[in-house]
Chains A and B, each alone.
Chain A
Amino acid sequence: MYIFDGAMGTMLQQSGLVEGECPELFNVDHPEIVTGIHAAYLKNGSDIVTTNTFGACGLKLADYGLEHRVKEINTAAVRAAKAAIEAVKPEAKVAGSMGPTGQFIEPLGQISFDEVYATYYEQALALIEAGVDFIIIETIIDVQEMRAALLAARDARETLHKSKAEVTIICQFSFSEDGRTITGTPPEAAAIMVEATGADVVGINCSLGPEQLIPLVGRLASVTNLPISAQPNAGMPMLVGKETVFPLSPAEMGAYVPDLLDAGATFVGACCGSTPAHIAEIAKAAHNHSPKERTEVVPFTAFTSRTSFVKVGHTEKPIIIGERINPTGRKVLAKEIKEGSFAMVKRDALAQVAAGADVLDVNMGVPDVDVVATMKRAIMELTMLVDVPLSIDTLDPDAMEAGLKAYPGRPLINSVNAEPEQLERVLPLAKRYGAAVLCLPLGKGDLPATAEERVALAKEIVLAAYAVGLRSEDLLLDPLVLTLASGQDSAVQTLRTLAMYKETFGFPTVMGLSNVSFGLPQRPYLNSQFLTMALSHGLTAPILNPLNGTVKKAFIAGRTLLGFDPAAAEFIADYGHDEEVVPTGAVTAKQTEAVSFTSKDPLENIQHAVEQGEKELVIELVEKALAAGIDPLKITKQALSEAMNVVGDKFGSGKVFLPQVMLAAEAMQGAFQTIKRVLPESDGITRDTVIVATVKGDIHDLGKNIVAALLENNGYRVVDLGKDVDPAEIVAAVKREKATVVGICSLMTTTMPMIDVTIQAIRDAGLPSKVIVGGAVLTQEYADKAGADSYAKDGISAVNIVKRLLGDD
């Protein structure tokens, strides 16, 4: 057990640091003060002192124009710490502090991963060169920043040929009261990620008091065997006048120490608000307590995202890796990606997550695209959109590295095969970026046909992985799925491979299903049968399409049958009411009940269907009515117009709401289009031309769009000039289109005067058109004053007013 020190900043303030001054410059200008603070902590029980370099990376020093003095400031800091150690406690150690840059890495923020890495590398190099025993990356709230700093610290250590024992790297996050970092990372995901990326100690500091830290330390201990550090604040601060006051006294702080140690911490210290007196109490409490022994965590395989983690393995519930984000055989998706659009990629991602995918596979294999840039962008877009971990699926090592760098957590690498150049490139990437890696038993020669050959190839990969320092829990195995057409026992060999993998290695297994049924009918059915067999042979994470009901159901059923679904609760929840699936968009029994479409009068049925916004049904009913020889004009006047009147009245009295009015309008539109389609020569009711526009200076067009839609579906010819429209343009359009009515709107007080200007322009041009105005801030009085012919308070009123002004109906 080690006792850390306490706060530095407040101690410096007490020694003369003023607001706006760079605290780290004290290392150079007043080293005796810094040494004095370290000495005070050492005298009070600290075993490790932390250098005054929290903000001494180039990016932070730039706030003071000191970015060119990184090495000088960090070296001076280590020197000041060592001077105290020499004088007070020669066996004590120095930890070189690296705090946050204060900027978020893209896409969450603006700065690049490489820039942040570079600034930390420069600082870590200076600290290690000056002789620190630890690098402590602290108060980090963004996993990407931690990854950049950790990689930088590791690289600097390697550059200077130091071992882990010589320079130990501590990774400390700050969590908020909700148990996550500000950017959403829970302690488990944070610990799994940093351990895989090579941290030597994981911990927590700042933001919370000791009481709140205890359960969080426990959560770290539940997923890692790494030593844990805990450095809480002296409670939650309050600003009194101009001074930040922390509530906990040294004794109160010390009282929490036994619980922190029992939860698993072996490095204890304190952060904001603490003093040497606090450290004295912490040290006393720690030395007087024999902590509970930590429960050893059995190593497990897991993937993490920014906000979550997923375990995978033979003792875990099988998980789904969604396969859809893959342009192979999907022309539209391939075209979109090539054109730089990620709309379908995002749609597929959200849909798969909603359908139960635990991890998403991301493949950007489109010919003739910049695969490195495309993978980077895909990973960035997806990590901003979904919470599940990702599997980066590419054969291109550069694209793989771009994806790994951009990924805020521990992803799956899909995949590495046994070819020497693949092993050389991909395995070190997995090690460097803390990824798990899927091993695919393919070598230079023929496809391995038997399970024995596949296991042999897998062994080669596993040994190569161990050689670069990867751990067992970093490795997953693919049994290789070939099409049945390639040999009648190909599926059997896959199943045998799964079983042999489980026995030989015990690692989690991953495989794509769909290859097995290539060229055969009933593929989802065949795939689903294969899936349940594979699950029973030791498949832990199938790559499949969760949007396919047959396959998804087989997966849930298989998981239930294998005992991973207590009391079959999940299966019952998902499929308990599933006998007859109602296709989306179909009229359900309940809806039909609520609507009376059973009148003997077909016009009444149409009217009711429009009122309910049942577009499909309206089309069907109109077709029937026309076939029965009912005059289209009669349909329009007696059914459609009547329906809109009813909807309008209900809207006016607050019984239906705007989206429901729009549903009715869509149904009405369906009716008009049907009449035109069935009887192209029918005149229907084509009425006058109406011009609509949002006035110059205003960019709100939703209300205008609604009015246009409603007018159109009442038979008017609508010319929509858009938003921010100049009065002259409106005047020209009125002349050109021979419009009898002009509707103009403005939503804001700041743009309302343009209503007056526009009306004046229409009047000045001597046009006879009627002018209707509307928009949130307008009133009848304003409309009158501006010289409008009428004021419409909403879309329904606008239609009624147009009808009235033109004498229609």
Chain B
Amino acid sequence: MAIYNGRLPQIDIAEATRYAGLRQATDFPKQLVADACLEVQLVAAPKGVYEVYEYEAETGLIKSNPPLQLEGTSIRQHLAKATKVYVLAVTIGEGVELRSAELFKEGNYTLGLLVDAAATTAVEQVADQVNEIIKKEAAKVGYTTTWRFSPGYGNWALEVQKDLAAITGTDSIDLAVTDTFLLFPRKSVTAIIGCMPNGETMTTKRGCTSCTQVNCASRKL
């Protein structure tokens, strides 16, 4: 298990604008989104953890202790060519949620809403950083890597969260899973990255194009 907490020297304002559902609202004051990103930088406490395991694609078995059997065609297909998997988890802590709720209470609804979007951007950025470390670590021995796949993508059920968190060691970054399989703090991500031999590459792309929610306000055009 390795800890990499990630840094947030800036939060991507364009991404936060997209997560806020404002991609078409060209006249919306940019400063407000920038203010929300700043609020998140002030209260976010980024943390990340990852671990690597052997993987058997034919059976969908992660050889962790205890082993984890992956269910669902989406994740199995995603890892079809993988022989190893990295499991990772990141969080930016509960502070951002509390700040958003506080802003709503103060009547700063818009900023409260935008803080939530900026926090989503921030947690993705931290996940990107851990993803990058994993990608480079895997590349050192010649693996190519899949993009990161999270519970809830495709038909990979959220019910896997508890087992996934356990083999990732999320307790070391104070990330818990509720009995209803939600991550707490809420602004957190768990995911799997597959390591593929023989220079294999992915044909699918991470992000909106592979998501079924075609009417999502944050969908990239």
Contacts and interface: CB of A to CB of B under 8 A. Distances in A.
Contacts of B136: 176, 182, 207
Interface stretch (A121-129, A185-193, A232-240): A232-240
A663 to B, nearest CB: 5
Interface in A687-728: 697-702, 705-706, 708-709
A272 B38 CA distance: 43
A245 interface: yes
Nearest to A697: B180
B159 interface: yes
A239 B198 contact: yes
A699 B142 contact: no
A244 B141 contact: yes
B180 A698 contact: yes
A699 B8 contact: no
A277 interface: no
Contacts of B158: 748-750
Nearest to B104: A705
Interface string A249-280: 00000000000000000000000100000000
A182 to B, nearest CB: 5
Interface string B181-221: 11010100000000001110000000000000000010000
B196 to A, nearest CB: 8
B20 interface: yes
Nearest to B198: A240
Given A237-B140, A242-B197, A666 B3 contact: no
Given A242-B197, A702-B100, A110 B217 contact: no
Nearest to A344: B42
B80 interface: no
Given A239-B142, A662-B110, A103 B21 contact: no
Residue among B20, B38, B113, B159 with most chain A CB within 10 A: B113
B65 interface: no
A107 interface: yes
Interface in B160-181: 172, 178-181
Nearest to B43: A343
Interface stretch (A384-392, A539-547, A554-562, A569-577): A384-392
A238 B198 contact: yes
A244 B142 contact: yes
Contact of B38 (A350, A386, A658): A350
A702 B116 contact: yes
A347 B100 CA distance: 17
Contacts of A386: 9
Given A238-B198, A343-B42, A666-B110, A110 B3 contact: yes
B25 A657 contact: yes
Contacts of B179: 697
A699 B178 contact: yes
Nearest to A272: B140
B5 interface: yes
B66 interface: no
A237 B184 contact: no
B109 A665 contact: yes
A577 to B, nearest CB: 17
Interface band, chain A: 35 or more
Nearest to A184: B7
Interface in A653-671: 654, 656-660, 662-663, 665-666, 669
B154 to A, nearest CB: 14
B2 A658 contact: no
Contact of B4 (A104, A613, A748, A751): A104
Contacts of A613: 110
A108 B28 contact: no
A182 B133 contact: yes
Given A659-B110, A666-B108, A666-B109, A384 B8 contact: yes
B22 A659 contact: yes
A102 B141 contact: no
Contacts of A385: 7-9, 41
Interface string B84-118: 00000000000001001100100111101110100
Contacts of A662: 109-110, 112-113
B53 interface: no
Given A109-B5, A346-B42, A584-B31, A709 B109 contact: yes
Interface string B142-163: 1100000000000000110000
A135 to B, nearest CB: 23
Interface string B3-39: 1110111000000000011101101100110000010
A594 interface: yes
A241 interface: yes
A754 to B, nearest CB: 8
A594 B32 CA distance: 19
A750 B42 contact: no
A384 B103 CA distance: 25
B58 interface: no
Interface string A641-680: 0000000000000101111101101100100000000000
Contacts of B42: 343, 346-347, 350
Contacts of B97: 701
Contacts of B71: none
A796 to B, nearest CB: 13
Given A658-B20, A708-B104, A384 B182 contact: no
Given A182-B133, A657-B217, A700 B186 contact: yes
Interface string A329-360: 00000000000000100110010000000000
A241 B198 CA distance: 6
Contacts of A307: 9
Interface string A583-594: 010000000001
B59 to A, nearest CB: 18
A206 interface: yes
Nearest to A708: B104
Given A658-B113, A659-B114, A666-B108, A103 B22 contact: no
A102 B2 contact: yes
B82 to A, nearest CB: 11
B76 to A, nearest CB: 20
Contact of B182 (A104, A236, A750): A750
A127 B147 CA distance: 42
Contacts of B8: 384-385
Contacts of B43: 343
A659 B25 contact: yes
Interface string A62-77: 0000000000000000
Contacts of B180: 697-698, 748, 750-751
Contacts of B21: 657-659
A107 B141 contact: no
Contact of A702 (B4, B9, B113, B198): B113
B142 A238 contact: yes
Contacts of A659: 20-22, 25, 28, 32, 110, 113-114
Contact of A657 (B28, B41, B132, B142): B28
B109 A706 contact: yes
Contacts of B113: 658-659, 662, 702, 706
Contacts of A749: 158
Contacts of A207: 136, 140
A750 B8 CA distance: 32
Interface string A512-551: 0000000000000000000000000000000000000000
Contacts of A698: 180, 182
16 contacts: A103-B3, A207-B136, A244-B141, A307-B9, A346-B42, A384-B8, A385-B7, A657-B20, A657-B217, A658-B20, A659-B28, A660-B28, A705-B101, A709-B107, A748-B182, A750-B182
Q: Across the A-B interface, give the 5 residue pairs with the lowest CB-CB distance, nearest first.
A: A239-B142, A237-B142, A697-B180, A239-B197, A662-B109
Given A242-B197, A272-B140, A748-B181, 14 more contacts: A109-B2, A109-B3, A237-B140, A346-B41, A384-B46, A385-B41, A657-B217, A659-B113, A660-B25, A662-B113, A663-B110, A666-B109, A748-B158, A750-B159
